[in-house]
C-alpha cells in the first residue's frame, strides 16, 4: 500500500481516490453477491477462476445486475479457455487447430477437461478443471448458451486460420487488414457477443446488438492498445502482432527496435501504431452513449477509460520497448471511480486526447497525422457530444481537505507500523 501511495504522491486526486476506495467504499453489490455465490460450491469455483485470471475485472463483472452476471462470467471463462489453447506455443499445431475449431461443441460436453497445456501456461488450471465451467455453462438459459456458442465458433475458427498461417508470414502479421482481422477475431467478436448478451438479458435495448461496427470497435480499441503495450512481452515469447505494413515503412528489423541506436525509428513506429488506434474513438463513445443500464455502462466504460489512459502513457514512450508499461494503481482507481456516467467518461477521453497532443513531437514523421487524428477526435466530441465537460469535476474544497488529512493519517499509520 505504501508504494502505491508514494507512486501517486504528486497527484492529490489519485491519493484521494485511493483512500476513498480503501476506507470509504460504499457497501456495494459485491458483498451481497458473494453470499449468493458462496451457497453454490460449483458457481463459487467459477468466480474463483475469474478472480484468479483477473482480480480487478472480476470485481467489475460481479457488480453486474443479476440478469447478466453469471452469463458474462461464463462467457469470460469460456473465452479464457479458448485463449489458453491459442496462446500455448508448446501444443502441436494440428492438435491446437482441432481444439480451437471444436471448442463451441466442447462447451456442451459434460466432464471435458484438458491437461495437455505446457506447465508455464498461466491459466492452465482453468482447463484442467474445465468440467466445472461446462456444468455451470449448461445451467445458463438457452438464449445465453446460444450467443456464447456462436461467438466461440467464430472465434475458434478465426484463431485456427491464424495459427495455421492463412493470414501470416511465418509468425508475424503482415498487412493492416490482417491486423484488423486478427483483432476482430480475438476482441471485436467479444464486443458482438457481449452486445447480444446485453440485448438477450433485456437490460439493454435490442438495437445495441444491431450495429456490429460499433461493438467491434469496442474490442478493437482495447486489443490494439494491449498489443502496443505488450510489444516487449510478446517479442520475448516469440510473438509478433504489430503489422509489417506499419513498422516495415521505417525498418526491416522488428526486434531491433529495442536497440538504443534505433530510438528515432522506434519512436516513429510507435506513433504510427498509436495513430492506427485513434480512429476507433468515435465508435467507442457512440456505443457507450447508447447504453441504458448503469451496471452495463460501468462494465463497458471501465476498460475503455483504462485503454485511453494506457494509450496516452505508451505514446512516445521508449519504455514500451523494454518493459510492460502500466498506469499507476492510483490512476486506475481514480478512473474506475469516475467511470459511472457519460460526462465523466467523455471528460477523461478529452483529458487523455489532450495528453496525446502535448506529447506529439514535431520531429516525428507521424506528427501531422497524429495532430489531424487528435483534432478529428476532439472535433467529433464537440459536434456529437456538445454538452460534455472538458475536465473531470473536482471535489468540493471541504471534502478534498478531509481526504488529504485522511491520506496523511494513513501514511503516518503505515510508516509508524513499519518502524514498530
- Considering only residues 251-310, where is the footprint of ligand IN0 by CB under 6 A? 299-300, 303
Are 147 and 200 in contact, with CB atoms under 8 Å apart?
A: yes
Are 171 and 234 in contact, with CB atoms under 8 Å apart?
A: no
Q: Respond yes or no: is residue 323 known to be catalytic.
A: no
| Active-site residue, from 182, 231, 321, 349 | 182
Compute how many other C-beta atoms are within 10 angstroms of the C-beta atom of residue 66.
13
Cell 447478466 appears where? 68
At residue 230's C-alpha, the angle toward residues 241 and 163, to 5°, is: 35
Binding residues for ligand IN0, total number by CB under 6 A: 19
Burial classification of residue 358, based on how many CB atoms lie within 10 Å of its CB (0-12 exposed, 13-18 middle, 19 or more buried): exposed
The residue (of 54 and 358) whose beta carbon lies closer to ligand IN0 is 54
- Tell me the C-alpha distance between 189 and 162, whole Å: 15
The residue (of 243 and 364) whose beta carbon lies closer to ligand IN0 is 243
Are 175 and 186 in contact, with CB atoms under 8 Å apart?
A: no
| Active-site residue, from 69, 80, 229, 350 | 229
Q: Respond yes or no: is residue 47 known to be catalytic.
A: no
Asked if 54 touches ligand IN0 (CB under 6 A), the answer is yes
Asked if 148 touches ligand IN0 (CB under 6 A), the answer is no
Are 69 and 62 in contact, with CB atoms under 8 Å apart?
A: yes
Asked if 57 touches ligand IN0 (CB under 6 A), the answer is yes
The residue (of 187 and 200) whose beta carbon lies closer to ligand IN0 is 187
The residue (of 46 and 194) whose beta carbon lies closer to ligand IN0 is 194
Asked if 182 touches ligand IN0 (CB under 6 A), the answer is no
Q: Which of 195, 227, 186 is nearest to 213 (CA)?
A: 195
Asked if 28 touches ligand IN0 (CB under 6 A), the answer is no
- Considering only residues 195-224, where is the footprint of ligand IN0 by CB under 6 A? 218-219, 222-223
Cell 491464424 appears where? 162
Are 201 and 71 in contact, with CB atoms under 8 Å apart?
A: yes
The residue (of 57 and 402) whose beta carbon lies closer to ligand IN0 is 57
Asked if 187 touches ligand IN0 (CB under 6 A), the answer is yes
Q: Which residues are catalytic?
A: 182, 229, 239, 299
The footprint of ligand IN0 (CB under 6 A) covers 54, 56-57, 72, 75-76, 79, 186-187, 190-191, 194, 218-219, 222-223, 299-300, 303
Amino acid at each position: 500500500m505504501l508504494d502505491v501511495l508514494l507512486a501517486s504522491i504528486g497527484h492529490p486526486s489519485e491519493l484521494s481516490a485511493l483512500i476513498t476506495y480503501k476506507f470509504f467504499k460504499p457497501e456495494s453489490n459485491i458483498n451481497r453477491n458473494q453470499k449468493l455465490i458462496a451457497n453454490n460450491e460449483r458457481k463459487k469455483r467459477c468466480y474463483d477462476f475469474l478472480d484468479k485470471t483477473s482480480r480487478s475485472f472480476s470485481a467489475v463483472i460481479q457488480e453486474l445486475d443479476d440478469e447478466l452476471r453469471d452469463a458474462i462470467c461464463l462467457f469470460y471463462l469460456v473465452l479464457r479457455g479458448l485463449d489458453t489453447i491459442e496462446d500455448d506455443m508448446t501444443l502441436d499445431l494440428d492438435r491446437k487447430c482441432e481444439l480451437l475449431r471444436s471448442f463451441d461443441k466442447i462447451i456442451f460436453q459434460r466432464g471435458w477437461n484438458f491437461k495437455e497445456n505446457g506447465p508455464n501456461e498461466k491459466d492452465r488450471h482453468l482447463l484442467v478443471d474445465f468440467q466445472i465451467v461446462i456444468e455451470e455453462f449448461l445451467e445458463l438459459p438457452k438464449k445465453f448458451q446460444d450467443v456464447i456458442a456462436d461467438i466461440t465458433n467464430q472465434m475458434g475458427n478465426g484463431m485456427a486460420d491464424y495459427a495455421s498461417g492463412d493470414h501470416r508470414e511465418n509468425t508475424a502479421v503482415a498487412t493492416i487488414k490482417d491486423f484488423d482481422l486478427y483483432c476482430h477475431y480475438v476482441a471485436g467478436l467479444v464486443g458482438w457477443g457481449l452486445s447480444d448478451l446485453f440485448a438477450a438479458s433485456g437490460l439493454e435495448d435490442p438495437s445495441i446488438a444491431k450495429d456490429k461496427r460499433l461493438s467491434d470497435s469496442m474490442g478493437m480499441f482495447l486489443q490494439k492498445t494491449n498489443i502496443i503495450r505488450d510489444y516487449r512481452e510478446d517479442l520475448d515469447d516469440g510473438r509478433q502482432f504489430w503489422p509489417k505494413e506499419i513498422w516495415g515503412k521505417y525498418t526491416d528489423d522488428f526486434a531491433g527496435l529495442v536497440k538504443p541506436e534505433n530510438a528515432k525509428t522506434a519512436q516513429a513506429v510507435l506513433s504510427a501504431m498509436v495513430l492506427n488506434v485513434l480512429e476507433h474513438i468515435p465508435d467507442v463513445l457512440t456505443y457507450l452513449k447508447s447504453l441504458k443500464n448503469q451496471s452495463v455502462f460501468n462494465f463497458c466504460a471501465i476498460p475503455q477509460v483504462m485503454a485511453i489512459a494506457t494509450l496516452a502513457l505508451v505514446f512516445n514512450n521508449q519504455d514500451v520497448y523494454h518493459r510492460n508499461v502500466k498506469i499507476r494503481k492510483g490512476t486506475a482507481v481514480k478512473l474506475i471511480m469516475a467511470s459511472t456516467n457519460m460526462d465523466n467518461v467523455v471528460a477523461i477521453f478529452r483529458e487523455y486526447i489532450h495528453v496525446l497532443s502535448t506529447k506529439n513531437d514535431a520531429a516525428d514523421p507521424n506528427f501531422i497525422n497524429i495532430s489531424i487524428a487528435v483534432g478529428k477526435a476532439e472535433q467529433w466530441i464537440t459536434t456529437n457530444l456538445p454538452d460534455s465537460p472538458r475536465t473531470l469535476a473536482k471535489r468540493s474544497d471541504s471534502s478534498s481537505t478531509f481526504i488529504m488529512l485522511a491520506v496523511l493519517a494513513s501514511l503516518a499509520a503505515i510508516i509508524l507500523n513499519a518502524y514498530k
